[in-house]
């Protein structure tokens, strides 16, 4: 399963992409994450549904310096890849 996600709030300039990457790697998910010009962060993650649910829950709760005010996500077609990168 693969999901596209977009997080809004205070998610840039606070290490949020690194937090998402580290969380995804810990869960052994593949995909990517990047900043958007409008201040949001978007990404894609692929792996078992239960691990994706855990990642989305972690993204929503954020980390110490981030504040996620909105998190949207949708299932998308799977893609090749084994790593999780910051773009």
Assess whether 83 carries a catalytic annotation.
Answer: no
Which is the catalytic residue, given 10, 34, 35, 54? Answer: 35
Cβ neighbours of 21 (radius 10 Å): 19
Which is the catalytic residue, given 10, 17, 54, 83? Answer: 17
**Strand ranges for 1-87 from DSSP E:** 2-10, 30-35, 41-46, 67-76, 84-86
Q: Are 8 and 59 in contact (CB under 8 A)?
A: no
Q: Which residues pair with 70 in a beta bridge?
A: 8
- Point out the residues that are catalytic: 17, 35
């Amino acid at each position: 399963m693969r999901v596209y996600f977009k997080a809004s709030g205070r998610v840039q300039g606070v290490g949020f992409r690194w937090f998402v990457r580290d969380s995804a790697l810990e869960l052994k998910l593949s995909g990517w994450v990047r900043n958007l010009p409008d201040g949001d962060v978007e990404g894609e993650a692929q792996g078992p549904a239960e691990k994706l649910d855990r990642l989305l829950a972690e993204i929503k709760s954020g980390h110490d310096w981030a504040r996620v005010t909105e998190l949207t996500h949708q299932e998308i077609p799977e893609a090749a890849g084994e790593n999780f990168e910051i773009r």
